[in-house]
Each structure stands twice: as C-alpha cells, then as structure tokens.
C-alpha cells in the first residue's frame, strides 16, 4: 500500500465528510462547516490511497510558541498500517522549533497512541469545552 501524504488542501467536502463519518465523529454532520474549518486551519496534512482520503491531521498554531494538534483521524480500513503515526511524526517534524506541541485526545483510550509518539500527560491538566450546536 503506497500512501501519499500532502499539505495541499485538495480534498472535497464529500471526501472530508466520508472520512469523518468513517470514524463516527459528529463533525461529519456539519460538512460545510467542517470543510471551511479545514481550509482555514494553519496546517492540514492528509493521507491518500490514490484518490481516496484515508486520514488527516489538523494543526492550529500561533506561529511561534504553541501548536495544537487536532483531528488526527484515519479511516478504520487503514488502521494498523502506520498512517496515523506517520501523520503525527510529520507534525512533530514541522513544529519541532515550537515551545509546545499539544494534543487533546477526545477519548482517553487514545492516550497510549500519543504517548508512543513522545507526548505525556500534563500534570494536573483537564480538558474543557463548550459545545454550540446552535
């Protein structure tokens, strides 16, 4: 399997929605907002098997101090093939000069994946959010 990785935002609304649906994320219910969010994100690295979008990672950054890695996802049909790990390593390389590279796993079961890639749990940190489904 030859997966191609790119920072070109060449994906379509339908491709993005299909990927997010494949992992069961609520964001798939808002395809236009999701697509716009990706287009306006600082960095999006996507993984492709031919014309099939099989994974992506999104990063929001302040250009100097903090980069926040968000939305690391891989189509379940491609789990176990190193796609997610490769995306994370590409982000680590790109942001190696930043003081902080942070990630907030949406589910605690995903923490070991990030720990295998050098992330550690923050002392006394807690994730918080407000959801506006509006």
Is residue 59 assigned to a domain? Answer: yes
Q: Print the domain residue range for 36.
A: 3-117
Report yes or no: 57 and 42 within 8 Å, Cβ to Cβ.
no
Is residue 68 assigned to a domain? Answer: yes
Tens-digit pLDDT profile for residues 74-84: 999 999 999 99
Report yes or no: 54 and 47 within 8 Å, Cβ to Cβ.
yes
Is residue 64 assigned to a domain? Answer: yes
**CATH code of the domain in which 106 resides:** 3.40.630.30
Is residue 21 assigned to a domain? Answer: yes
Structural domain total, the chain: 1
Tens-digit pLDDT profile for residues 17-66: 999 999 999 999 999 999 999 999 999 999 999 999 999 999 999 999 99
Q: Edge-to-edge strand order for the sheet containing 66-74?
A: 4-6, 43-49, 52-61, 66-74, 100-103
- If DSSP codes are grouped into helix, strand and coil, which group holds residue 96? coil
Distance CA(11)–CA(127), nearest Å, equals: 30
pLDDT the model gives residue 133:
78
Is residue 28 assigned to a domain? Answer: yes
Least-confidence region, from 80-94, 95-109, 119-133:
119-133
Is residue 129 assigned to a domain? Answer: no
Distance CA(86)–CA(93), nearest Å, equals: 11
Is residue 132 assigned to a domain? Answer: no
Is residue 98 assigned to a domain? Answer: yes
β-strand partners of 101: 67
């Amino acid at each position: 399997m030859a997966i191609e990785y790119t920072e070109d935002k060449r994906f379509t609304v339908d491709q993005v929605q299909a990927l997010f649906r494949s992992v069961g994320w609520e964001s798939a219910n808002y395809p236009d907002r999701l697509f716009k969010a990706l287009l306006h994100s600082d960095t999006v690295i996507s993984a492709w098997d031919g014309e099939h979008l099989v994974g992506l990672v999104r990063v929001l950054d302040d250009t100097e101090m903090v980069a926040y890695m968000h939305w690391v996802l891989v189509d379940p049909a491609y789990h176990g093939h190193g796609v997610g790990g490769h995306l994370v390593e590409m982000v680590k390389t790109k942001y190696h000069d930043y003081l902080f590279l942070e990630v907030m796993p949406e589910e605690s079961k995903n923490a070991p994946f990030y720990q295998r890639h050098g992330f550690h749990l923050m002392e006394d940190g807690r994730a918080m959010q407000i959801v506006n489904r509006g």
